[in-house]
Amino acid sequence: MRWCSRFREAGPVVAEGAGGVGHRRPVPLLATLLVVAAGTSLIGCAPADEPAETAEVASDAASPDGTLSAGGLTLTPMPDSPAFADATLELHGIEQGADLAPGTTSMHFGVANYELGVQTSDAATKGIANSGDGQHIHLILNNGPYSAHYEESVETELTPGYYVLLAFLSRSYHESVKSPGAVVLTDFTVGGEPSAEVDFTQPHLFYSRPKGSYVGSDIERLMLDFYLVNVDLSADGYKVRATVNGNEFMLTDWVPYLIEGLTPGSVTIQLELIDAEGNWVEGPFNRVTRTVTLEAAADSPAEGVEEAAPEEHGAESH
């Protein structure tokens, strides 16, 4: 079976908007969501992304501490972060399956047991890119690049199409909070477009980090983070295959990984959800490819700190 790919990239999301009307507790899916971590309008039938080139792929070798090595690169599980086990995120004002008018849409998130806009307590010791504006919400539409929001109210411009919305709480260094209540997953249409009827009971993989451009010392360690729904990873079960510049790594734990050994230039990363037999798990989001840019120049914010783009009014783009 092929997923009919009608998703179209959504417009930029801009923070600071009036809250939505009413309250919604989205998706029965949250009851089945396993804590395992953007925009497109459905047109034409095609796979989510083409598989990575395999002719020159170097496979990983694991060390006792869990570090994976291939082609001069290493992926190492990142040390534990504050868990925020009681943090919760809700979306108000947009019901699951709603049809919205094209144009500016207001969203209002409810956040509890988590403070937006403050630095995560261990940010200074992580040694990775960190947002100077603090903790925030990652908002992903149709598994496109996320937008970061430091306030509960968000405004976004939406064109006609079908949308799957994933939002989760993020630490200041962009690691997703993976506790069950800290995520919203829902869908809606805009402009009367037909629904793609994505099955929220099936396994899904969403890409989060890395994203954008990295400069200076930030290129030494890139955090790889993703969001999983309805699936657990294990050595003899489902896995995420991460291909970084042609080097293949099999990830068997749902944790963030630190990528080291990269040099300035473009970095291509493909993530695929695969089953115990090594087959790609069909789904609209289960294969995704992104490119980020690494620059050696130090003409950037202070080491390890990212700045929110002022023109985005709180919607941090990196």
Residue with more model confidence, 90 or 58 = 90
Mind spelling out the 3-state secondary structure of 77-98? ECCCCCCCCCCEEEEECCCCCC
**In 3D, which of 47, 177, 170, 180 has the Cα closest to residue 118?**
170
Tell me how far apart the alpha carbons of residues 315 and 309 are, in angstroms, rounded to a whole number: 7
Residue 219 has pLDDT above 70, yes or no: yes
pLDDT in tens, 107-166: 999 999 999 999 999 999 999 999 999 999 999 999 999 999 999 999 999 999 999 999
Q: What is the rounded average pLDDT for all residues in the chain?
A: 82
- The residue-averaged pLDDT of 43-60 equals 48
187-206 pLDDT per residue, tens: 999 999 998 889 999 999 99
Q: Which amino acid is at 142?
A: N
Nearest Cα neighbor of 11 from 116, 118, 160, 125 is 160
Mean pLDDT value across residues 94-109: 95
Query: Considering Cα of 187, then 193, then 198, then 204, what sign does the dihedral take?
Result: negative
Give the H or E element holding residue 138: strand 136-141
pLDDT at residue 249 tops 80: yes
Burial class, 61, CB count within 10 angstroms (exposed 0-12 / middle 13-18 / buried 19+): exposed
- Read off the tokens for 106: 């207001």
Within a 13 Å sphere around the CA of 178, how many CA atoms are in the beta-carbon half? Answer: 22
How far is it, in rounded angstroms, from Cα 179 to Cα 293? 30
